[in-house]
Amino acid sequence: MTMPPEGHGTRILGTGSATPEKVLSNQDLEQILDTSDEWIRQRTGIRTRRVVDQSTGAGTISLACDALENAVANTGIDPLEIDLIICATCTQEMTCPSAACRAQARVGAFNAAAFDLAAACSGYVYGINIADTLIRQGRHKTIAVIGADAMSTVMDYSERSVSILFGDAAGAAIITRDENPERGCIYQNLGADGRGWECLYMPRREIDVPESDKETPIRLGCLRMNGREVFKFAVKKFLSVIETTLQEANISIDDVSQLICHQSNLRIIESARERLGLEKDRVYVNIDRVGNSSSGSIGLCLDELNQAGRIREGEIVLMVAFGGGMTWASSLWRV
């Protein structure tokens, strides 16, 4: 959907993020799994991930609250100016109340409506697209979008093909109305294909485990993944979503100053970068340090870039994600 250049636009007022202190390295995983640092680095590009200390009660809610608090501090905004909080997550400790409500209470954003959004790893990009649309429509003026996942809380650490990938993180952005209609999200795409749900799912009940996945033991409440299928889907989807987005917006890849891809696997990101012919410094990577943090991934990348002064006014930034569902999303911004 291309945004009409009338009325007003939007801008990212500021960003924040949160990562737990505890580091889980490949060497740590070698101690508990039949795996090796070399295998993990070659197949995924990951060296370390961050994981919450569950014994202290830390988890998705604390990460979401910390990221929003950090974004509020970084922008200096009065929290009462925020009129909606969207928290993308697939690892809520509680489905009621939402993590967004908990974050609202933490920062004192008492004029904000609040809800959670479930689109797995695509959740943050779904969230910023919805925020941009609502602000352009005039329904809201200032929206906080959080992506937060404590993936370590849904990991089966005896399952080596899944647990090596994931880590915990949250990113938040505060998006507000801008008088320039050309500013903000200039093209967005949301997509889903529910037929692929069995590739990535988190069963709470035995009865929900699909026939195709009954051969190996299942730990209820933990993420199951058909890595090979997701990999094939991701490589194809990333490229086609990026190409469609640029075509529809009539923007050349040369005009994109930063491509922020969901940090799923370095090989998937590198495959898109090489096919698009982009230099390394225009495709952000932090998966080596933090692993795949699902809904937290793109928000954390955006904040790291922003804090490093690499999100400059007027430049074009493209965010692209795919994830369980299957879902995908792109968001092209003039920041």
For ligand UT7, the binding residues (CB under 6 A) are 35, 39, 43-44, 121, 160-161, 164-165, 225, 227-228, 230-231, 234, 264-265, 292, 294, 323
150 contacts 63 by C-beta, under 8 angstroms? yes
Query: Which among 189, 261, 262, 265 is annotated as catalytic?
Result: 262
Long-range pairs, 78-81, Cβ under 8 A, ≥24: 79/107, 79/108, 79/109, 79/110, 79/112, 80/108, 80/109, 80/110, 80/111, 81/111, 81/141, 81/142
Is-contact 59 153, C-beta < 8 A?
A: yes
Nearer to ligand UT7, 59 or 323 (CB): 323
Contact partners, residue 129, CB within 8 Å, separation at least 6: 185, 188, 190, 329, 331
Q: Nearest-CB residue to ligand UT7?
A: 227
Between residues 33 and 276, which has the closer beta carbon with respect to ligand UT7? 33
Q: Does the annotation mark 262 as catalytic?
A: yes
Q: Using the minimum distance from each CB to ligand UT7, give the nearer residue, 201 or 310.
A: 201
Question: Integer distance in angstroms from the first to the last C-alpha of the chain?
Answer: 18
CA distances from 34 to 28, 132, 141, 220 (A): 11, 45, 51, 22
Which among 87, 90, 101, 121 is annotated as catalytic? 121
Instruction: Name the minimum Å distance from CB 135 to ligand UT7.
Output: 28
Closest distance to ligand UT7 from the beta carbon of 88 (Å): 13
**Pick 190 or 251: Cβ nearer ligand UT7:** 190
* 327 φψ region: left (φ > 0), alpha (ψ -120 to 50), beta (else): beta
Question: In the bound complex, what is the minimum distance in angstroms from residue 40's beta carbon to ligand UT7?
Answer: 6
Q: How far is the CB of 232 from ligand UT7 (least distance, A)?
A: 9
Q: How far is the CB of 203 from ligand UT7 (least distance, A)?
A: 16
Q: Which residues contact 72 (CB under 8 A, 6 or more apart)?
A: 16, 79, 107, 109, 144, 174
- Minimum distance from CB of 92 to ligand UT7 (Å)? 17
Is 87 known to be catalytic? Answer: no
Question: Which listed residue (26, 292, 301, 306) is catalytic?
Answer: 292
Catalytic residue flag (residue 226): no
| Residue keyed to tokens 């647990």 | 163
Cα 22 to Cα 51, 112, 172, 289, 290: the distances in Å are 6, 32, 21, 12, 11
| Nearer to ligand UT7 (CB atom), residue 85 or residue 261 | 261
User: CB-wise, 44 or 142, nearer to ligand UT7?
Assistant: 44
Nearer to ligand UT7, 187 or 231 (CB): 231
In angstroms, what is the minimal distance from the CB of 166 to ligand UT7?
Answer: 8
CA 88 to chain centre: 8
Indicate which residues carry an active-site annotation. Answer: 121, 262, 292
